Every structure is written in C-alpha cells, then in structure tokens.
Structure 1
C-alpha cells in the first residue's frame, strides 16, 4: 500500500507560509538555545549578577516614582519648572524623614523591643486567659481534637527566633553583606529617581526607537496599559495601607490598647499584601488585647471590624476602583504561588506582576486571533 504523497505546494502552504507555525518554531528554537546555554555557567552568570544588583534599586525607585510623579506633574501644570518642583519635593521629603528620625523612630524602637521581649509571656498569658474563660475541660478537649497547643507554638516561635539569631551570628559576614547591599540600594534610589522624574517621559519613545515601525503603535498601547495598571495599583495600595494604619492607630488610642503605634504600623505594612495582609496583621493585636482583658479584646475586634468596613466600602472603591479587574480568589492564589516561588519579594510583587502578565497575554492573544484566522466572525 503506497502512502499518499504530500505535494511541495501543500507543505509550503501548511507550514512555511503559516505565520503561527513559524512563530511556534521560533519560540522552540529560542527555548532550545536558552536551555543549551544555561548549561554553560559563564554565559548567563554575568547577566544574573547584573539583574540581582539592579533589581532592588529599580523596584524601590519605581515605587517611589509612581508616588511622586503625579505631584511633579501637578506642580509643572501650575507653571513651576519641573527641575524646581523635583528639588522642592526632595527638600520636603528630607524634612519629613528628619522629623521621623528625631520624633517617631525612638518611640517605635522602644515599643518594638518591649513587644518582642514580652511576646512569649503574652502568648502564655493568652493561653491562661482562654482556659479561665472557657474552662479547662473544654480547652483540653479543643486541644485534643485540633492538636493545637499554644505552649508548643510559643516554644516553636522562640526556637525559630533563637536559631535565626544564631544563624545571623554564625554568618555575620553574609548578614553584613546583605545590610550593605540594601543600604547601597536605598542610597542609589534618590539619584535614579531624580533623572527618572526629570526625563521619564522620554523613556517610552527611547524604547520604541529600537522596534520596527510596524510594532510601535501596538507596543506603545501595551506599555501605556501596563503603566496604568502598575501606577494605579502601587499608588492605590499604599494610600489604602496608610489609611488603614492611621484609622487603626486612632482606634487603638481611643480604646487605650498598648503598643498602639507599632501595631498600627504593622497593620499598615502588611496591608500592602491584599486579603492576606490584614489576617496577618491582626494576630499581634489580638494577643496584646487578650492579655490585657476580655473587654479590651472585644473593643479591639470592634475597632478592627469598623476599620475593615470603612476600607472595604469607602476607601478602596474610591482609590483602587475596578482597574485591575482581578477576582479575589485569583489574587489569593497568585500571592500564595509567588510566595512559594520567590519568598517575600514574590508576595509583594505578585499582584502587579500578574497584572502586567495579564496585559501582555491579552494583547498576544488578540494578535494571535487576528493573524491565525481561526476566530473569524460570520455575519
């Protein structure tokens, strides 16, 4: 039996002239090259070192840029030269930092050291309070059913902290190196930020100049949408986190909760992570309130509930809006996955990174639909 012969013109029409097949072949060749070159250490090692060196300064600069650029644009629209507005903003920020160092940092340091020192005793006191509130028999049954033992949990935390301190002492050189790299990254940020604020509007045109003319319009559209997603998320999330911290601080002061400033700061910083951050932030506040008294615990829960309602119903809808258009369940899974892959940095960058990838994927899919001809609509 003779197999049917594939004519050259048919092969050319199905494969060589098919742009989608050529696109897949190109991706395959690029992937094979990366795979082979990755086996040679000296090929990608300089690139990896470069990325690790500039990644932290670029991330910090980007966050600060998206916060300050609207202010600089506003001052420029008020007939103030851009360079003068940037210098004025730098002087204001320097004054605020100086005020924080002189007035706020000592108070925060005192509360942090006192809270860390008293945390094991607080945890044990919480256990004793719960036992007295609900009865020893019921508490023992809960422990046997769930397998949860607060003493073991406290001991585990203490051991983790001790091992971390021992590890830091054993590898003091690595620890000092990490601190040095972080301080250098922070020190570089003002210089990069200055030029980015001054000439950042020229950056898209400079990037587009390397691309063919046929790709520039769509690439500019993708870059504009990515910039809108990132800027909206960063500014909105930081403003929302600041509002949560401020409202909790006022509420904690009203009810007289100890360590109100540091607990509010913890809540503000952890609220940068959507949905999971508030759940983490409430834990130390619950412990401190439970140690104080059952009435204080009830007051703290009421304050927390009121702040979360205000944030969910009024603050976030006004500031964040619906720009990201990401389902909350998707956000939680993205944060958990990024945390397992990249640690703390992955948790912080999970949502904006997903938003950027979503923009790129949607535009690639639109391009594929137009070029493949498989999604033609029939009228």
Structure 2
C-alpha cells in the first residue's frame, strides 16, 4: 500500500464554497434587508435626544446639590476654619515642632478652649442673659418718662406691647415656633456645631494631603502654577479667618474691661461675648454689638449710655484704622466697594455664614482674575 499525500481542495471546490457563502449572504440581505448608513450625530433626532438627556442630567445633579446643600456648607465652613487654624500649626512648626505634634497640640488647644467655654462661660452668660431679661420691664418703665417716648407710646402703645411680649414668657417660643421648635433649633445648632468641629479636626489633621489631592486634579502641565495659586488662596483665607478672630477678641476684651469700669459688671461677660460674636460679621457687626451694649447702658443709666456711645465711637475708629489694617495687611487685599458687594451677595445667599465667607472668597476671585485672566489678556 503506497503512501499518498492528502489531496488539496481543488479550485472548483473553493469556488463552489465561496459561491455558497455569497448566496447565503444574498439570501440574508433579501430576508433582513440591506443595512443602512449609521445615524448621524448631527441628525435632529440625535441632537434632541442628547440635549434632552443633558437637561435631565443637569436637573438631577441640581436636585442632588440642593439636597446636600447643608452638608456642602458645613464642609466649606470647616475647611475655612481649618485654614484659619493652620497658621497656628505653621507657627509651631517654625519653632522646631514636627507637623504631627504641632497638629496634635493645636487640636488639644481647640478642644480645651471649647470645653472651657462650655463649662465656664455658658453658665455665666445664661445667668446674665436671664438678668437682662428680668430687667427689661424696669428699663422700659424708665423709658416711659421720656417725653418723646411718651408721645410715641400714647399713639402706638409700643412700650406696652414690648413689655407684654417680654414678660409673657412665650416670646422665645414665638420666635422659634413653640417649645418643640426651640428644642429642635437648639439640637440642630448643636449637631451642626459638632459636625463642623469634627470636620475641622479632620481637615487640619490632613491639611497638606487635602491640598495635594485638590492640586492633583489639574493637568500635569499646569499643576505647578495651580499649586502656587492655590497656596496663595489658602494662605489668604487662613490669614483672614485668624485675623477676624483676633479682631473680634480685641473687641470683646475691650468691651469686657469697659463694662467693668463703668459699673456694668453684672452684664459684662454676656455683653462682651455678644460684641465678640457680632464683630465677626463684616461691615455692620461691630455697629450691631455697640448698639446692643449702648441700649442696655442707656436703660440702666443715661450717663453710662452716653459714655458707652463715646467709647464705641472711639473704639471703632481705632479698630477700623489701626487694628484691622495691621492684622489683615498680609491676608486679604479687597477694595472697599468689592467688600460691600461681596458681603451683601454672601448674606443674601447664605445669611451670616455667607457674609463671613464672602470677603476671603472675593479676595481669592480677584487674585485669580489678576493672575490668570488679566495676564492672559496682557500677553495677547
């Protein structure tokens, strides 16, 4: 039996197979139809479909942002506070302390200050606020002896309404919508304060990592410039927050000393605390605190009220032209008109929180406009 090589398929067989395949393809085309050209992305249908999907996506994202707006505000506030605390960490680092130990020291100081405020100042402030509320009817009786006040009261009965409102015992409830509303408001305030405190501690502990993570979102070719601009923005925000705290502490301490000197020691701590809180609010905060203190001083004694007006007029000049410029000279550089506009816009958007964050935000925007937009226009 001889070995024979396997026979190769003949050309006729190959031609037959190709013909069968072509016949099968023709049969499929006859059954399913000839495929048409792909749908153009510029077709009206595709434009409408993609546009509708884009609108739905934007609407969904907008609803999500609105739903978590409270959390976003808490995160932004905590980041601003962390930027304000960071100069303390940098100060300790420059004294030879390693950053982890400097951060731990600052965190301990912040927690100790909060604990000291809760344990020592809150009872005193609440007691003095109670005394102020108890003395409101007496102060209103003194105001009734003023002739102009008497004329207004005879026509509109303003003092009687105020006295009934304060002595009725339900004026606080009416402000917040009942006893349950007061409790919910207090719990909400405490919860927000706790969340902001925890977020602030996390941010200050991972401050450098957080900044690097934000800078890494920029393209590698522009990351160096973005980092330098970001560092300047964070330094400006930190300087403004810490500077505002220093200015507010100066106002509170000066008010505390003044009130003890003029014989208002029983209300000194509460009123000084009010002045310190209101002084943080841009533009009108210092005036609000001064008006509150002067009104209570006037109700107690006319001479004390006049002295209080003179003191706060003089102090505000010192604060505006001496304390504030020196403290804020290296943090923010915002023209007066921009400061007013930014504070008004911030207050209309987020209330007091928006007014507090408006000035450093405006300073950051102005810096970006000068360094990016104006420089790009000059190079053209």
TM over 0.5: yes
1:337 is aligned to: 345
Is 1:182 matched with 2:192? yes
Which runs of no fewer than 5 residues in structure 1 stay unpaired?
1-31, 374-379
Q: SS at the partner of 2:218?
A: coil
CA-atom RMSD in angstroms: 3.5
Q: 1:72 to 1:307 in 2, by over 3 A?
A: same
1:114 is aligned to: 131
Which runs of no fewer than 5 residues in structure 2 stay unpaired?
1-50
Q: 1:193 to 1:342 in 2, by over 3 A?
A: closer
Matched positions, count: 325
1:320 is aligned to: 328
Moved over 4 A (4+): 32-35, 138-141, 147-150, 155-162, 170-174
Pairing of 1:1-379 with structure 2 (within 5 A): 36-37=55-56, 40=59, 42-63=60-81, 65-119=82-136, 121-122=138-139, 124-125=140-141, 127-129=143-145, 131=146, 136=147, 151=159, 154=162, 161-165=172-176, 167-169=177-179, 171=181, 175=185, 178-179=188-189, 181-186=191-196, 188-189=198-199, 191-196=201-206, 200-257=207-264, 258-321=266-329, 323-366=331-374, 368-370=376-378, 373=380
Deviations 1:251-306 (A, max 9, x none): 11111124111111111111112221111112221221111122111221232233
Give the TM-score normalised by the residue count of structure 2: 0.72
Shift of 1:336: 2.5
8 Å contact from structure 1 (residues 232, 323) kept in 2 = yes
- Distance in 1 between the 2:160 and 2:349 partners? 28
Residue range with higher mean Cα deviation, 102-111 or 174-183: 174-183
Q: 1:87 to 1:290 in 2, by over 3 A?
A: same
Give the TM-score normalised by the residue count of structure 1: 0.72
Q: Which has the larger radius of gyration?
A: 2
- Distance in 1 between the 2:187 and 2:175 partners? 16
